[in-house]
Structures are given as structure tokens and as C-alpha cells.
């Protein structure tokens, strides 16, 4: 059974210990790498030995958050800390040897399974970075520019530059303090939120041109074929959050992206909905899952057949509303 | 000569007076209408008579900010206040009768010409809304939900939801306080920053598909023809900030949109640049003007000829760098 720690208790726990290894989650985003790097940086500023376990999935976009703290192969940590990771199966493969001895999980996911010996969780926060901020302020009452930059990346990327529904008054207040502490927010905003790759621009152009509206324009469906991916050169990074586009169109309540995977007979559906419709309901019908507003599933059929199936399903759903 | 007032002095000045009319600027944005509405609302909460002059250019996007306070035709104000307006020629035509007797200008533009009897200016703030927030807090130490909503619109729209370079620690701190005070930020962010019209989506799709890259992909040029506008049904509102797209592409330093106006022989150039290039330099060459990062001009030639002229000009500019 995991022991829940308050921010105060977590700060004391960290100050009384040394030789830390920080774990981040698979398919790492700005929140887990920013939080992990910030924690290691702050612990080092306190004179402690702290490393972050190399994350093989880290992309150029965020790897600099943890680069200065990557653990050498022969490091023998005494205490294992995880950041932003709700369950043990979310760690990358190279974390396997540590999974049965995680001392502390610092997180903001309500779905945290309390797999660690101690857990410091604030599910009201939009980002794990806000929890780490609270802990650091309690430990040192100071944020260095290096820590501020990493925490700003954590907060801003998890909230779509403070535009998503998870953004709270606390998120903005902490972000304000991080800028005061030296986070280079102008540079970061430009790179993270106001720059698109050419491949992204190409694939977006094709996607927008091919949007199909139906059901009085309440439904918008777009396809991303393997040919489109090849023509645009788009990588996984380039497709980040592209599923949000159809449902961001005025009047659209159900937005769907059908993307061909390894063959034209295997497609991934990404569904976004506004109330009263449920993305989860649509995806569960095809064996997938997710949240009410965002869900996904895999269907082993070609795009035209999937469109037919969707049409039938949505017809039924609309009749019931 | 205008008398500069501090926030304290402005608060006192307002508290000692009554019967206010607030003026907003032409082509009104979220900052001028949000600031104007918030000021009127707060003055009314203090038991005063306060109206906002109808702004004929207000679009559905922002008109609700001032709708409850629109001045009746027979209102005889004692004191005229302007918000977010740097010079007298920026007022709409229906403000003409008041222009020689503006008592107070509340603004954040460094270019304010001090046309009012008194001026309360903070050029460090990203939005006029932040200046109004300071004044209201000094007057009442309280922000009502109605005021908070309008000021949140002012701050968030002037900073691209806190992503533009003008965003400061103060902007985020004030926004945090506005959410605490009841600003419906989730609803507002969805409408203002995460919704696009179908016309906008269509015109964006066409624009992205037609992007032309040159000079080692440092230059990206897109055209918006009259046919494209007709096919998409895009209005002026739908084209808002579309000029930022070409220069937001990774590696692009000069981004240009050529848009046909009343005929195919009259085009508007919107130029955006990253250092070391200057949008102003490019546009001044064609008789236009603006800032280093963003500028515009009108050229009385068809698109293909303009592209040739641009090619020559940019070749010269690049050789000199």
C-alpha cells in the first residue's frame, strides 16, 4: 500500500535523502521530461546526486530537458522517483529493473494506481510540473533559471499554451512565477506553439482540403492515407494533436480522423466530440476506448468501408439524442 | 499638454467623478472592447452612470463585451474616457463630436500621442486590459465575474492566448486572478482560440496546398485569389492573422501572403519575417510600411508579376546579408 505524502512531507523526504534516479514515461511529452529535468536540477542545486534515466522515446523537441542529467550506466541509485506516470506499464522498457522498488511517485493523474512506496499526487493540477513546482518551492523557496525553463515547458505543453480546459488559475500563476524566475518564455512559445514543420503544413493542407462534412455539418471526417504520409514526409511528431482539427470547426460536434497504419486495411480512428456526443461511445463500439471528449480505436478495414460503418453508427446515435 | 496620471491618481480621478462615456477604437478587437466593457461595468458597480459609445465596427466575436453598456442617443456625458487608442484618428466616425474633449486616455501603446487631458499609460503591459485591471483593483480591490470575463478577453486576445512575445509575467498573473474572480476561461478559450469557421478552414487548406518555397526554403509565399475567397466564403474576420502562417513554418525567415483585392490587378502584400530580415524593408520598397517583423503594402499588379518582383528584391536582400 502506498503512503500518500503532502507537499511538505515530500519536500522533507527528499531533503533527508540522496542518490536519486528519476523515471519518466513512455512516449515522453514536455510534462514528464520537463518535470523530471527540473527535479534533477533542483536536487543537484541542493548538493545531491540526481540523475534521470535515459528515455529512448525522447524526441528532439524535448530531449534537452533531461540531457544534462542522463544517468551513466554504472549509476547505482538509492531512491527511484517517477514523474507524471500513472501506472507501471507506462514506463519505457529500460526502466524494467527499477519497477519493483519505486520509492516516490510525483503525479497529477487521478488514475495513478499508487504503485510506489510513497505518492505525492495533486489531481487538480493541469500538469505534473505544477506539483514539482510546489515541492521545489517548499524545499528551497527558489527557482533557478534552469529549473524555471523546464517547468515552463511542462506547464505550457500540457495545457496547449494555457488554452486547454485543464488550465487553472494555479497554472497561470505558476507560469507567471516561472517567467519571473527566468524561463525564456518568448523563445519557448515560438518553438513550441508558433512553429510548424513543413511536413506538418503539407499534411494539414491535404487533410483540410479533404474534409468531408455530413449530418447537417455536425460531423467532419478526414482521412490520412499512407500515400499522404509518404508525400508529406510527416513523422509521428508531425501528427501530434492533428486529431483536434475536425472538431475545432464551428458547428462540428463529432470530428474524426481515419489514419491508415501498416496497410490500407488497418486504420486508426481518432475521435473528438463536443457534448452531447461521446467519443468514447463511438470508439467502444469498435473495441476501443478513451474519454468522453477524446477517444480512439483500431479497425481492420479500408477507409471507404470504415466511413460506411461510421455513417450507420452516427445515424443511430443522432436518432437517440 | 496631457497630464500623466499614475494608477493611484487615475483611481482617485474616476472615484471623484460621474457620468462617463467610454470610447473604443476603430476595427475594434478584444482588448479595446473588453477593456471598455470592464471599465463601464466596474464604474456602474460603484453606483456611477457609465456607458460605452456604440462601435459600428464591432463584430459578433466581441460585441457582447460592450452590449449591456451601449450609450443611448440622448446620453449627455460629463467625462469622456478612451481605452486602448493611441491616436485620435483611430476612433470610429461616430466618436467625432467627442474628440476635442477626451478627459482621460487609458492605454498601453508606447505610440500614444497624449491627445487626452489626462493619460494613464503603461507601455510595459501586453494589453490595455492589464492597465484597466490595475485601476479597478486600486478603486475597489475587487473584480466581479462580469468584469473578469471582459478583462480576460482583453488579455487573452491581445496575446494570442498567452503565446505572443508581448506576454509577460504580469499578463499571466492577472489572468490567473481573473479566473479566480470568475472569468469563464474554458468557454472563452474554446470559442476564441480553439474554434475555426468552415470558411477559415477552407481558405487555410487552399493556402497551405498552394505554398511556394524558394531560396533554400527560407522564403514561403502563398496567394489568396478572389476565386479562393469566393469558393471559401471567407470574410475579413476569417482571414484574421492568416498572414502569420507562412512564417510559422520551420526554417522560413520570410513569409509572404499576396491577396487579390478589388481586382486581380490590385493586391495586398502581408509580410512576416524573422531576423535578420525586415518585413518593413521589403514593404517600404513597394511604398508600404510597418514593423521589422510584420509589414504590409499594396501593389497594383497581378500575382505572377508581383512574384517576379519579389524574387528580384529578395535576391538582392539575401546577397547583402
pLDDT tens digits along A32-75:
999 999 999 999 999 999 999 999 999 989 999 999 999 999 99
* Nearest Cα to Cα of residue B122 among B84, B179, B160, B72: B84
pLDDT for residue A1 is more than 80 = no
* CA–CA min distance A286, chain B (Å): 28
Report strand pairing: A219-224 vs A254-260. parallel
Asked if residue A239 has a cis previous peptide bond (ω within 30° of 0), the answer is no
Q: Band of the pLDDT at B289, cuts 50, 70, 90?
A: confident
* pLDDT, position A236: 79
Q: Under an 8 A CB cutoff, do B250 and A195 touch?
A: yes
- CB-based burial of residue B241 (10 Å sphere; 0-12 exposed, 13-18 middle, 19+ buried)? exposed
- pLDDT score of B1: 76
pLDDT tier for residue B309 given thresholds of 50, 70 and 90: very high
| Spatial CA neighbour of B36 closest among B69, B2, B73, B11 | B69
CA neighbours within 13 Å on the CB side: how many for A169?
12
In the predicted structure, residue A136 carries a pLDDT above the cut 90: yes
Sheet holding A79-83, edge to edge: A3-4, A118-121, A102-107, A79-83, A20-23, A50-52
CB-nearest partner of A195 from B169, B198, B248: B248
Residue A233, pLDDT > 80, answer: yes
Nearest-angstrom CA–CA distance, B58 and B66 = 9
- Rounded CA gap, B118 and B81, in Å? 9
What is chain A's Cα-based Rg?
21
Residue B62 β-bridge partners: none
- In this predicted structure, what is the pLDDT of residue B241? 84
Q: What is the 3-state secondary structure (H, E, C) of chain A?
A: CCEECCHHHHHHHHHCCCCEEEECCCCCCHHHHHHHHHHHHHHHHCCCCEEECCCCCCCCCCHHHCHHHECCCCCCCCEEEEECCCCHHHCCHHHHHHHHHEEEEEECCCCCCCCCCEEEECCCCCCHHHHHHHHHHHHHCCCCHHHHHHHHHHHHHHCCCCCCCCCCHHHHHHHHHHHHCCCCHHHHHHHHHCCECHHHHHHHHHHHHCCEEECCCCEEEEEECHHHHHHHCCCCHHHCCHHHCHHHECCCCEEEEEEECCCCCCEEEEEEECCCCCHHHHHHHCCCEECCCEEEEEECCCHHHHHHHHHHHHHHHHHHC
What is the tens place of the pLDDT at every residue in B79-112? 999 999 999 999 999 999 999 999 999 999 999 9
* Per-residue CA distances from A26 to A6, A72, B162, B264 (Å): 26, 19, 29, 53
Tell whether the model's pLDDT for residue B117 goes beyond 90. yes
Task: Name the nearest CA neighbour of A268 among A228, A241, A295, A247.
Answer: A295
The percentage of chain A sitting over the pLDDT mark of 70, rounded to a whole number, equals 100
The pLDDT assigned to A321 comes to: 72
pLDDT at residue A289 in the model: 86
Contacts of A218 in chain B (CB under 8 A): none
Instruction: Report residue A284: phi and psi, to 5°.
Output: -65, -30
Q: Are B218 and B225 spatial neighbours (Cβ–Cβ below 8 Å)?
A: no
Residue B290, SS3? strand
**The dihedral of CA B46, B153, B20, B119: what is its sign?**
positive
Q: How far apart are CA A19 and CA A120, in angstroms?
A: 19
Is A89's pLDDT higher than 90? yes
Torsion of CA B73, B78, B83, B89, to 10 degrees: 70
Closest A-chain CA to B194: A248
Mean pLDDT computed over B300-311: 97
Which residues of A make CB contacts under 8 Å with B? 160-165, 167-173, 175-177, 179-180, 185-186, 189-190, 193-198, 201-202, 204-209, 211, 213, 217, 244-245, 248-251
Which residue in A265, A178, A272 sits closest to A222, CA to CA?
A272
Q: Does the pLDDT of residue B319 top 90, yes or no?
A: no
- The sign of the dihedral angle between the CA atoms of A301, A304, A308, A314 is positive
* Among B168, B194, B250, beta carbon nearest to A179: B168
Dist CA A28 CA B35 (whole Å): 41
Task: Give which of A178, A234, A236, A164 is closest to A203, Cα–Cα.
Answer: A234
pLDDT digits (tens, 9 = 90+) for A204-230: 999 999 999 999 999 999 999 999 999
Dist CA B123 CA A2 (whole Å)? 52
Looking at the predicted structure, is the pLDDT value of residue B35 above 80? yes
User: Residue A176 and residue B172: Cβ atoms within 8 Å?
Assistant: yes
The predicted model gives A243-250 an average pLDDT of 94
Confidence of residue A241 (pLDDT cuts 50, 70, 90): confident
| pLDDT value at residue A25 | 97
Chain B residues with CB-CB distance to A177 below 8 A: 169
Alpha helices (runs of H) in B16-69, residue ranges in sequence order: 30-45
Neighbours of B54 (CB within 10 A): 18
From the CA atom positions of chain B, what is the Rg in Å? 21
Longest CA pairwise span in chain A (Å) = 64
Which alpha helices (H) appear in B95-168, and where do they start and end? 128-140, 145-158
**pLDDT of B237 over the 90 cut:** no
Asked if residue A148 lies in contact with residue A181, where contact means CB atoms within 8 angstroms, the answer is: yes
Pairing of strands B102-107, B79-83: parallel
pLDDT of residue A145 exceeding 80, the answer is yes
- On average, the pLDDT of chain B sits at 95
The predicted model gives B167-181 an average pLDDT of 98
Interface of B with A (CB under 8 A): 160-165, 167-173, 175-177, 179-180, 185-186, 189-190, 193-198, 201-202, 204-209, 211, 213, 217, 244, 248-251
Q: How close are the terminal C-alpha atoms of chain A, in Å?
A: 44
Q: Which of chain B's residues have a Cβ under 8 Å away from the Cβ of A202?
A: 208
Q: What is the mean pLDDT of residues A99-121?
A: 97
Amino acid at each position: 500500500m502506498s503512503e500518500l505524502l503532502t507537499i511538505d512531507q515530500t519536500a522533507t523526504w527528499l531533503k533527508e535523502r540522496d542518490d536519486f534516479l528519476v523515471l519518466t514515461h513512455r512516449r515522453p511529452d514536455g510534462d514528464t521530461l520537463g518535470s523530471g529535468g527540473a527535479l534533477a536540477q533542483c536536487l543537484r542545486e541542493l548538493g545531491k546526486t540526481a540523475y534521470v534515466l535515459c528515455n529512448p522515446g525522447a524526441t528532439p523537441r524535448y530531449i534537452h530537458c533531461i540531457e544534462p542529467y542522463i544517468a551513466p550506466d554504472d549509476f547505482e541509485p538509492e531512491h527511484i522517483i517517477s514523474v507524471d506516470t500513472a501506472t507501471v506499464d507506462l514506463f519505457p522498457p529500460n526502466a524494467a529493473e527499477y519497477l519493483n522498488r519505486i520509492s516516490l511517485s510525483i503525479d497529477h493523474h487521478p488514475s495513478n494506481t499508487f504503485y510506489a512506496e510513497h505518492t505525492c499526487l495533486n489531481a487538480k493540477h493541469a500538469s505534473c510540473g505544477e506539483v514539482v513546482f510546489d515541492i521545489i518551492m517548499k524545499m528551497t523557496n527558489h527557482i533557478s533559471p534552469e529549473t524555471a525553463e523546464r517547468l515552463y515547458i511542462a506547464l505550457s505543453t500540457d495545457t496547449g499554451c494555457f488554452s486547454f480546459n485543464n488550465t487553472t488559475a494555479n497554472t497561470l500563476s505558476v507560469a507567471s512565477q516561472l517567467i519571473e524566475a527566468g524561463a525564456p518564455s518568448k523563445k519557448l512559445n515560438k518553438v513550441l506553439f508558433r512553429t510548424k514543420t513543413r511536413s506538418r503544413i503539407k499534411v494539414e493542407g491535404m487533410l483540410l482540403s479533404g474534409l468531408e462534412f455530413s449530418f447537417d455539418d455536425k460531423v467532419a471526417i478526414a482521412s490520412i492515407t499512407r500515400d499522404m504520409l509518404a508525400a508529406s514526409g510527416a513523422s509521428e511528431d508531425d501528427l501530434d494533436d492533428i486529431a483536434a482539427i475536425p472538431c475545432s470547426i464551428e458547428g462540428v460536434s463529432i470530428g474524426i480522423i481515419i489514419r491508415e497504419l501498416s496497410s490500407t486495411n488497418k486504420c486508426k480512428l481518432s475521435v473528438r466530440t463536443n457534448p452531447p456526443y461521446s467519443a468514447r461511445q463511438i470508439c467502444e463500439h469498435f473495441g476501443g476506448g478513451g474519454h468522453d471528449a477524446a477517444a480512439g480505436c483500431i479497425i481492420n478495414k479500408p477507409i471507404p468501408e470504415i466511413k460506411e460503418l461510421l455513417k450507420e453508427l452516427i445515424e443511430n446515435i443522432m436518432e437517440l439524442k
